[in-house]
Chain A
Amino acid sequence: MRFFRIALVVLALMAVMAAPMQAQGKSATVSWPQEPDTLSPLYTSMTFAGYTYQLYLSGAWAFDADLTPFPVLVSEIPSVDNGGINADGTVFTLKLKEGLTWSDGDALDSADFLFTYEMIMAEGNAVGSRTPYDRFVSIEAPDATTVVITFAEPYAPWLSLFGAVLPEHVLRPVFEAEGSIDTADFNRNPTVSSGPYVFETWEVGSFMRFQANPAYVLGQPKIDTLVVTFIPDEVAYVAALINGDSDLGTFVAFSDVPALEEAGLTVEVIPSGYNEGWYLNTSAERAHPAMTDVNVRKAIAMAFDRDDFNATLNYGATFTPHSFWENTPYANPDIDPYPFDPAMAAQLLDEAGWVDSNGDGTRDKDGVELVLRFVTNTRGIRVDLQAIAQQQLAAVGIGTELINFPSDQFFAGYAEGGPISTGQYDIAELSTAPATFPDPNTVRFLCSEIPSDENPVGANDNYYCDPELDALFEQQSSTTDLAERIAIFHQIDQKMFDAAIWIGIWHDADVWITGSDLQNVALNGVTPFWDVQNWDVAS
């Protein structure tokens, strides 16, 4: 009987459910599919942590909707013309705006920049990445509004510097007491702000709330309260956007796009530098013997119908990229992706000497069957793609063994025996971007980065080495002239395409969803809140 009594209570509660929303001023809700690890900019590579700290911490500059940098804490973007960059591109001078303050009134000056550098490099702080601060020769503050950074060599990707600046007056005492700010309370409960919003509360597992910062250097935001919620379940996430519980969201699967559009929401596909692609292992020692033959690699690219996959499983919300730098000026516009052409693929394989001599349906050569290890992680869409690709590759006589690793093993390092790092694969599918996007620089394809026992930190997972390609990468990384750099990248792109070491599967741009109540929203894939002070909600 007690059960019925409980049921009655539940029913009664159902009746009184419609609790009114208490709203003071304008409010909007942003939803992430993952809860940020931390609010500190130093300790995680998680995309959503990266987006969220931008609400309360400003950087030297940010990027606008076209990914053009504009000044935030600096008074102008350094250039050779304004004297911010010296002639050979090794010395950068940042001129800060006058009278910058933290939200508690304390001055924000060059000392905070130096402190940020100190924290990143301190041995006591186990920060996620030191790039590119570990390349500094020196960093100095001649006065309160000037920061001078010197590199040993010209450093083209300098725009990735100082995306956030830490408050010295808050964190210095912690660092001095503990020898580290790894576990500083500030990382989860920041007390001061230099960004558009001031942190208010973090309800673990549910949401964070921010209030507008009247002292924000680019002006007080129009929306007073910004709530950031975390909804990890994909179905619930999409439902929250459709119901209007969330005003802004991202990272929805391409397959959810039709339903979201049907619900009248604005769907924008915004490049974040990422492209889903197949890394083809070219190592003579570690890969299948066929993989060293460029024609076999081209045949692999032609045997899988990427356009059909993007039209069906990706619901036409994305497309097949032709370049590692897809959708940026650095991509060579004259390149078309390898077409889906099984006949051509078969011909290339025949010419390469891989024929089905024993009639088992799989090509072979010198007694070696053409069976390739196709590895990826356990993400649903990749598992589906593997099954489709296996069937299509089998149609041209390429056998595949499908292997799925949990992500923490798939991406594990060389010393930990990670399958990509150690080259234990022939085809590996993953989504990658230039490390300091929007800068195009990458070290992934350099000969010197080929991993080995002597060089376990190498990043060249293709095990591909072409001295000419190396020279071009070397040349672009010290070229500060944009047009010149773009021209070099077009050559790089052509070389990589011809070598067929990376096959683009889909342009992995981020899908952003904006509710109809939210106005004036302009986003980008790096600093989505660059213009949040101008967002508004319909009253």
Chain B
Amino acid sequence: MATLTTHKPVRLMESDNQRKNSNRALRRFLRHRGAVFGAVLLVFVIGYVILGSLLFSESYANFNDTSRRLQPPSTEHPMGTDNIGRDIFARTVYGGQISLMIGFLAVTVAVLIGTTVGVVTGYFGGWIDVILMRLTEAMLSIPTLLFLLMIANIFGGKVPQIALFGRVFSGSVVVIIVIIGLTSWMGLSRIVRSLVLSLKEAEFITAARALGASDLRLIFKHILPNIVAPVVVSATLGVGGAILSESYISFLGVGVGAPTATWGNILEGSRQFFEQAPWLWVAPGILILMTVMGINFLGDGLRDALDPRSDKSA
């Protein structure tokens, strides 16, 4: 319910101060115990899904055998088997790759849209600002999860499967990435807009403009570099949100389709055997938890590190 958006705007840094600040930032980051813990968690999860794929092939993760269905964890299947006898360990590995990919790519989409909208509205103002900000407000007044469910329902089954990096994905992966991206850019665009608004009045921008710099040059050379830090923080936290969103819509039955596993749809398949076979939901559940927790810790640490003003004690 209470989806808390704790994006604190980060104070601006001027370009000439950047290098000095980045060393300080790294030190601050490393001092931040939570951030280091978050990074360790994430490294573990990423290691799990990458190294795990050296242990088994994707076809093993999809290999089913009804004679060994719903087996509890054993040495052969350390996390047990699912309803049609697939190895859950292997499925969480390959499902994790998809879940993480969805998280990162969806946020990439959101960052692209959010930054573009924020910069355009903040920098140019005028009617385009009015229209885009109205659109942003409109998007914000629709409950995200309900909106996501609706759009996922629209595209369900309509996109054919795709081959990428020698692997075949259910087309729904792309759909999910795009729709999560499309429904999560609004907060970022508001942050970027307010940053750009105040930057526009900064002396070094006024100076550059007086020297005849074009709008494009101003945006790419002077404005964008100065908003990278808050965007990175917001994006990091967004990855966790996107992974959760995927798991929610898969859980509610309109997510990524078979045979492509994700943590969310492994969980969905566990509902019927909730009591009978708890290993179906424990492993993917813990992995989602670890990922989101890692990202939250990391994002928090990054914010503290990149924002010189932030009171470390707070």
Contact = CB atoms under 8 A, between A and B. Distances in A.
Interface of A: 234-235, 253, 255, 308-309, 312-313, 375, 378, 380, 383-384, 386-388, 390-391, 401-406, 408-410, 419
Given A380-B272, A404-B157, A405-B157, A308 B66 contact: yes
Main DSSP-derived SS at the A contact region: helix
Contact of A312 (B66, B153, B161, B268): B66
B174 to A, nearest CB: 14
A387 B272 contact: no
Contacts of A403: 157, 160, 257
Give the interface centre of B67, B158, B257, B258 by most chain A CB atoms within 10 Å: B258
B157 A401 contact: no
Contacts of B269: 380, 383-384
Given A402-B170, A419-B157, A387 B66 contact: no
Interface residues of B, number: 27
A409 B153 CA distance: 9
B267 to A, nearest CB: 12
* Closest 4 pairs between A and B when the two form their complex, measured CB to CB: A405-B157, A312-B66, A404-B257, A406-B156
Given A235-B272, A378-B253, A313 B84 contact: yes
A5 to B, nearest CB: 22
Contact of B157 (A235, A308, A309, A410): A410
B156 A405 contact: yes
A197 to B, nearest CB: 33
A303 to B, nearest CB: 15
Nearest to B152: A406
A265 to B, nearest CB: 17
A255 B160 CA distance: 31
B212 interface: no
A384 B153 contact: no
A391 B272 contact: no
5 contacts: A312-B67, A313-B83, A401-B160, A404-B257, A406-B157
Contacts of B86: 387
Interface string B71-102: 00000000000011010000000000000000
A387 B156 contact: no
Contacts of A375: 157
A255 B153 CA distance: 28
Given A378-B156, A406-B157, A387 B62 contact: yes
A413 to B, nearest CB: 16
A388 B272 contact: no
B230 to A, nearest CB: 35
B157 A387 contact: no
B64 A409 contact: no
B271 interface: yes
A312 B82 CA distance: 13
A402 B272 contact: no
A308 B69 CA distance: 12
B66 A391 contact: no
Contacts of A235: 271-272, 274-275
B254 interface: yes
Contacts of B259: 386-387, 390, 402
Give the interface centre of A255, A387, A401, A409 by most chain B CB atoms within 10 Å: A387
Nearest to B84: A384
A377 to B, nearest CB: 9
Contacts of B84: 313, 384, 387-388
Interface string B44-76: 000000000000000000111011010000000
Contacts of A402: 161, 170, 257-259
B272 A255 contact: yes
A46 B64 CA distance: 34
A387 B170 CA distance: 13
